[in-house]
Amino acid sequence: MFDSFAWMNVAGSHPVILFDGYCRFCSGVVQWILRRDRKKVFRFAPLQSQAARALSGGRSLLSDSFLLYESGKLYERSSAALRVVRHLPGLWPLLYGLIVVPKPLRDLVYNWIGRNRYRLFGKSEHCFSPLPADSDRFLNL
């Protein structure tokens, strides 16, 4: 079984973004976050990793979902994305105001992109691999 406690200790107080490591769109979003997260708030783990399974409590992870493990809770889809932008510099935190939109409405667009992301953006044959300068922020390495 997966030792969630050990992975929680590795993550420390950092929120962890769980993403589909084979999805080119998802990997692009991770790179976009890395460029903006100058304070190095976030840690990352592909959904296919042991770290992601441990942080999710061993539950089956949806491969079309973007998840955020923060303060002992797991957020998914649009809720996770909005919580991420809340931590970024500049005007990005203003997008968090969209949290007042009912989740089913927010997730309509999110779910459409999730279902069609491989067709629209492609799928990599290999799981995402960060640049050496960022590798310490990835829990699966």
pLDDT at 7: 45
Domain boundaries, the chain: 4-127
- Residue 1 in tokens: 């079984």
- Measured from the Cβ of residue 102, the count of other Cβ atoms closer than 10 Å reads 7
- Residue 40 in tokens: 């190095």
Task: Kindly report the three-state secondary structure assignment for every residue of 28-87.
Answer: HHHHHHHHHCCCCCCEEEECCCHHHHHHCCCCCCCCCCCEEEECCEEEEHHHHHHHHHCC
Between CA 30 and CA 17 the distance in angstroms is 8
Fold of 4-127: Glutaredoxin (3.40.30)
Q: What residues contact 56, with CB distance under 8 A and at least 6 apart?
A: 18, 67, 69, 74
Between CA 50 and CA 6 the distance in angstroms is 11
- Sheet with 43-46: strands ordered across: 43-46, 16-19, 67-70, 73-76
Written as tens digits, the pLDDT of the chain (141 aa) is 344 444 445 556 899 999 888 888 888 999 999 999 999 999 999 888 888 888 877 666 656 578 899 988 889 899 999 999 999 999 999 999 999 999 999 999 888 888 888 888 888 887 778 888 898 999 874
Whose tokens are 């992975």? That residue is 7
